Structure 1
Amino acid sequence: MDSNHGQAKDAGKHGLGDVKALVFDVFGTVVDWRSSVSADLAAFGQRKGIEADWVAFADAWRAGYVPGMDRVREGARPWANIDVLHRERLDVLLDEFGIEGLDEAEKDYLNRAWHRLSGWPDTVPGLTRLKQRYILSTFSNGSVPCLIGMARHAGLPWDAIYSADVVRHFKPDPRIYRGVIGFLGLHPHEVMLVAAHNGDLRHGRSHGMRTAYVNRPTEYGPKQSKDRAAESDWDVVVSSMTELADRLC
């Protein structure tokens, strides 16, 4: 029997009461990256007297996220974390948007906009309640410095920071899913993956993790075309972190 199938089947033998830790996809699920990045860029532009469509800039920046990781996944380049990939994309976009004259310190500051993301309004209240019962950890392709900076900026009450940096592989590589289970010293059915992305949850379930879908239908703006609803019978389906706390606490 395929080991992943066996793990998923075994998870069905256990109830949600066996869950000891919640691990969270961060970008889009926990934090509102689109509003945060565009506002951060707009504030910088205002200080520097630079005019641009900063929402379009944020969207274009995020659009480089998966292609950048794919080059690493496919072996087209050595391991590089998200901070490096974001910076490479930033340099391209500054040229495309005709933004000139920034020094290295200013470019580094802009790149760290991803370290200064704010949570959705329900995030901190929900996580604070969930923390009373569960171990809370990040489960993200973001870098460790990015996730720490974000936690300090947004007041995210993590017990642990786990990212692709730990195993040097991006989701959906199986090593990052298996890695977080081992990182916490738990069994797969004792770990619940919380995400706004159906694909992430599918991979988590295949490794025996429990699953919670948090609906974020405007992560990519009002015209978002994917992940607008749950696409499977996830263990829990909610519309906010506070609702997740209502369900689990």
Structure 2
Amino acid sequence: MTHKTDEAWCNSGKSQSAISRRFFFTLLGGTAVLMTDGLISSRSIAAAGSAVPRVKALVFDVFGTVVDWRGSIIREGQLLAERKGYNVDWGEFADRWRAGYGPSMNRVRTGELPWTKLDDLHRIVLDELVEEFSLTNMSEEELQHLNYAWHRLTPWPDVIAGLSRLKNEYPIATLSNGNVSLLMNMAKNAGLPWDTIMSAELSRHYKPDPEAYLKAPELFSLAPDEVMLVAAHPSDLRAAAAAGLSTGYVHRALERGAENPKARPDTGQFDIYAEDFLDLARQLGA
């Protein structure tokens, strides 16, 4: 038997039309979801529960924020040493390789070098370290494999789960000085669930140039403050804020090793301070 109220509901195009225009909440898998005009959008729910409701998309610094570059390079060096018999302090080697990162990009920024991908800048520094650390008898294939260790970096333990939660509510992308192929290979290798890859290569400006940051809101068709840069490096975040982006700090105490833990920056500089990506997701309503 059909209740009259059900008949009235089904037979009234006017009622159906009114409901199709009405915003209402339902529960799908225990998650509150906003429905309107036949489309489901959890983004409005995330905004309502977010510490920064204006943010509509997230972009991430990668080296140190998403992946443990130091531990990964140490592991690659140890594997190389097993094959070649090298006696090297791989922690020092990793630190020295990373230390060449900023100066090599500055050579591009100042015009000393033309636009050069990070893979090629890494190789310039590596060739110097091979001599310094006496890594003798390495073939070109072995050198290239070691240089591509930056394509095989391992994410921090919270990253996959945290990104997966954030991806449910926001577009998520890299915003890294790494070149596109490097970031793509890293994502494939580590299972990083990016919606898209954004790189300094797209603007041909390395961070902290403002052009590198502003490429993200341009490509997302959003205002700068509707895009949040997530990073573990205060200098990166300050440059993003100067370009108009929102900012989320994530603390990576062990980025430079357990023997050299990083201190937290003073509060009040950035829109969000998070302990890890799961904490970030919670604060952004994801």
TM-score, normalization by structure 1: 0.90
Q: Aligned residue for 1:189?
A: 225
Query: Whole-Å Cα distance in 1 between the matches of residues 165 and 96 of structure 2?
Result: 35
Contact 1:216 1:228 in 2 (8 A): no
TM-score, normalization by structure 2: 0.79
Q: Aligned residue for 2:131?
A: 95
Structure 2 counterpart of 1:82, from 74, 96, 118: 118
Structure 1 counterpart of 2:56, from 15, 20, 38: 20
Q: Aligned residue for 1:238?
A: 274
Query: Whole-Å Cα distance in 2 between the matches of residues 126 and 67 of structure 1?
Result: 32
Structure 2 counterpart of 1:151, from 187, 199, 208: 187
1:122 and 1:150, CA in 2 relative to 1: closer, same or farther beyond 3 A?
A: same
Structure 1 counterpart of 2:264, from 229, 237, 245: 229
Could you list the runs of 5+ residues in structure 1 that have no partner in the other structure?
1-14
- Give the aligned residue type for 1:137: A
Check if 1:161 corresponds to 2:207.
no
Query: Whole-Å Cα distance in 1 between the matches of residues 267 and 116 of structure 2?
Result: 33
Match of 2:53, SS state, is: helix
User: How far has the Cα of 1:190 moved from its partner?
Assistant: 1.3
Contact 1:198 1:231 in 2 (8 A): no
Matches within 5 A, 1:69-218: 69-218=105-254
Query: Whole-Å Cα distance in 1 between the matches of residues 200 and 55 of structure 2?
Result: 23
Q: Aligned residue for 1:9?
A: none
What is the aligned residue count? 234
User: How far has the Cα of 1:51 moved from its partner?
Assistant: 2.6
Runs ≥4 in structure 1, deviation > 4 angstroms?
none
Compare CA radii of gyration and give the structure with the larger one.
2
- Give the aligned residue type for 1:117: L
Contact 1:164 1:170 in 2 (8 A): yes
- Give the aligned residue type for 1:229: R
Match of 1:17, SS state, is: coil
User: How far has the Cα of 1:246 moved from its partner?
Assistant: 1.3
Query: Whole-Å Cα distance in 1 between the matches of residues 206 and 282 of structure 2?
Result: 31
**Cα deviation digits, residues 50-87 of structure 1 (max 9, x gap):** 23211111111111011111111111111111100100
**Cα deviation digits, residues 132-161 of structure 1 (max 9, x gap):** 000000000011111011111111100010
Structure 1 stretch displaced more, 198-207 or 91-100: 198-207
Q: Whose strand fraction is larger, Structure 1's or Structure 2's?
A: 2
User: How far has the Cα of 1:219 moved from its partner?
Assistant: 0.9
- Give the aligned residue type for 2:204: R
Query: Whole-Å Cα distance in 2 between the matches of residues 102 and 172 of structure 1?
Result: 35
**Cα deviation digits, residues 63-121 of structure 1 (max 9, x gap):** 10111111111111111111001001111101101111111111000000000001000
- Give the aligned residue type for 1:160: T
User: How far has the Cα of 1:48 moved from its partner?
Assistant: 2.7
Query: Whole-Å Cα distance in 2 between the matches of residues 172 and 110 of structure 1?
Result: 27
Higher relative contact order, structure no. (Cα contacts within 8 Å, ≥ 6 residues apart): 1
Query: Whole-Å Cα distance in 1 between the matches of residues 251 and 89 of structure 2?
Result: 27
- Give the aligned residue type for 2:116: A
Query: Whole-Å Cα distance in 2 between the matches of residues 177 and 36 of structure 1?
Result: 27
Query: Whole-Å Cα distance in 2 between the matches of residues 85 and 211 of structure 1?
Result: 28
Could you list the runs of 5+ residues in structure 2 that have no partner in the other structure?
1-50
